[in-house]
Structure 1
Amino acid sequence: MTSESQNIEFKVSWRDEYLKWICGFANGNGGKLCIGIDDKGKVTGVDNHKKLLEDLPNKFRDILGVYAEVNLQEEMDNYYLEIIVPRYDVPISVRGKYYVRTGSTLQEITGLALNEFILRRTGKTWDDIPEQRASLSDIDESSIKQFL
């Protein structure tokens, strides 16, 4: 088994909080989450692999709105799951929070970085967005004349 890296993460068992990792990979460059492998890359196995094979794709679809490949793998009579997450060009969130995989860490995107991330993923820049509070009286005629 390979080791963890920017695009590979190992977890001994599945917990729903790992939806953040799926989100982070989808918002990053894609990646692989392996369930049933410890941090050292040793296959420990996962007992409930049959149930997870059914439940996880549905969770990814229903909670994240993404498709990720869930594959059953075996090494020395131990089963583990390999979840392959593609990069998405639209912003993906988990219950309204956005995450991205950067380096070997998972980061929540907030504040100005979140604004920039959403604009970039939707193909827009700050000047594409109309300012709802603006009116014609906000336009400075002398500035317009100087520009012309």
Structure 2
Amino acid sequence: MQRTAATPPANRGANCKISCYNGNSGFADDAAAANAHVGRYPQGEVFPMDYIKLIQQGESETVEFKKEFPSSASDIAKEVAAFANNKGGLLFIGVGDQGNIVGIEQPDKVIQRIVGVVRQCDPPLQPQIKIEYFESKSIVVVQVSKHNVPVAVDGKFYIRVGTSAVAATSRDLTKLLVRNLLDQINVLDILDEPFAGFSPENLAIASSSSNEGSGHREEDAEAERVKLYENFQGVFLVHRWRPSTLPGQKADIVISLVQHNQGPLTARQVASVDYFLGPKFPGSSYHKDNYEDDFALRVSAYAPMLCLAKVNLLSGEVITLYRYCDFPADL
């Protein structure tokens, strides 16, 4: 890889940028790189507007700020590995936690340290690294892509939860492995048989008469649907079943939580769940605090039933969810 010097030349404006490292090979000869900035700053280039918007929005699942290179280099490795194990992301070094651009000294040396750190990941990573300039302040930007196998640091795996890199549980690691496997195979081939003769209604051409007056109804329905997402904070109940092996029962059922996008479940803000299945089930309720498997409840039943779940958040708030747990009656 070829590096260019980090010091912005005096004869250019403060808002200019320069690419430094693409992760494909080693640094060029340091002596040659020392004068590489001459004539390398195109006139008029400015700090990317996309970066400005991201910084204004603050840290997120895919954006991390570091005011300076941390005292422990492994902190950078963990952040990068967590991005690689998630959707990828951008690490800005020289930006404070509140989005204030402070810049860093000697960005070239920071890049060299980052290169050494990411090569210690298992497997070694090759992010794109570059220096950007904002009002004469140097910012190192590390762009990490999603990796096709889980990435470890010192034998441990990390994932991105909200705005933090956290150690992955065994369940998290299983999800990573399954996700990466599904990315590499054609899932539609596996699921094709149950959809024989499938004709998607959403693509059907409706007559003009059937659409008369439907515009407002659709808008109202969509507003209500969005409101449900907000009320439930993206948390929903799901269930799976199989024919029961127990005498007198027809189905074994697993009821659990699922998170749409990001929310309390992915941010680990759910303390417990209380399930209510009705008087035919022993006990008045089932209390679950097993975060590792999404607060799953396992029961056997001889008939479908309505499940009510009280999701207790760490904040003290309670989200009430419902799920009709059905299965074929002729089991």
Instruction: Using structure 2 for the length normalisation, give the TM-score.
Output: 0.35
Larger RCO, structure (CA 8 Å, separation 6 or more): 1
Q: Aligned residue for 1:127?
A: none
Write the deviation string for residues 58-83 of structure 1: whole angstroms up to 9, x where unpaired. Answer: 32123340111111011111101000
Which residue of 117, 120, 129 maps to 2:175?
A: 117
- Secondary structure at the aligned position of 1:37 is classed as coil
Deviations 1:16-61 (A, max 9, x none): 1121110000000000010010012111111131112223123212
Any conservation in 1 of the 2:81–2:121 contact (CA below 8 Å)?
no
What residue ranges of structure 1 are gaps of 5+ in the alignment? 125-148
Residue 33 of structure 1 is aligned with which of 91, 95, 105?
A: 91
SS of residue paired to 1:99: strand
The one-letter code of the counterpart of 1:28 is N
Cα distance in 1 for partners of 2:162, 2:171 equals: 21
Q: Secondary structure at the match of 1:41?
A: coil
1:19 partnered with 2:77: yes
Matching of residue 68 in structure 1 with residue 127 in structure 2: yes
Q: Please list the CA deviations of residues 86-144 of structure 1 after superposition, one character each: whole Å capped at 9, or x if unmatched.
A: 00010100011101113222221123433x135325628xxxxxxxxxxxxxxxxxxxx
In 2, are the aligned partners of 1:10 and 1:33 still within 8 Å (CA)?
A: yes
SS at match of 2:119: helix
1:54 matched to which residue of 2? Answer: 112
Aligned amino acid, residue 69 of structure 1:
Q
Larger relative helix fraction: 1
Aligned length: 123
Q: Which whole-Å CA distance do the structure 2 matches of 1:54 and 1:106 have between them?
A: 22
1:129 is aligned to none
Question: 1:7 touches 1:31 (CA, 8 Å); kept in 2?
Answer: yes
Task: Look up the match of 1:6.
Answer: 61
Highest Rg: 1 or 2?
2
Q: For 1:43 and 1:109, how far apart are their aligned partners in 2?
A: 31
RMSD between superposed Cα atoms in Å? 1.8
Instruction: Please state if 1:86 is matched with 2:145.
Output: yes
Where 1:57 maps in the other structure, the secondary structure is helix
User: Does the alignment pair 1:97 with 2:152?
Assistant: no
- Cα separation, 2, equivalents of 1:31 and 1:122: 17
CA–CA distance in 2 between the matches of 1:112 and 1:43?
A: 37
Is the counterpart of residue 43 in structure 1 residue 101 in structure 2? Answer: yes
Q: C-alpha separation between the residues in 2 aligned to 1:40 and 1:122?
A: 34
State the match for 1:145 in structure 2.
Answer: none
* SS of match in other structure, 1:47: coil
Structure 1 runs, 4 residues or longer, greater than 6 Å off: none
Alpha carbons 1:101, 1:107 under 8 Å: kept: yes
**Aligned ranges 1:105-144 → 2 under 5 Å:** 105-114=164-173, 116-117=174-175, 119-120=177-178, 123=181
Taking only the aligned residue pairs, the percentage that are identical comes to 26
Report if the CA contact (8 A) 1:89-1:121 is conserved: no
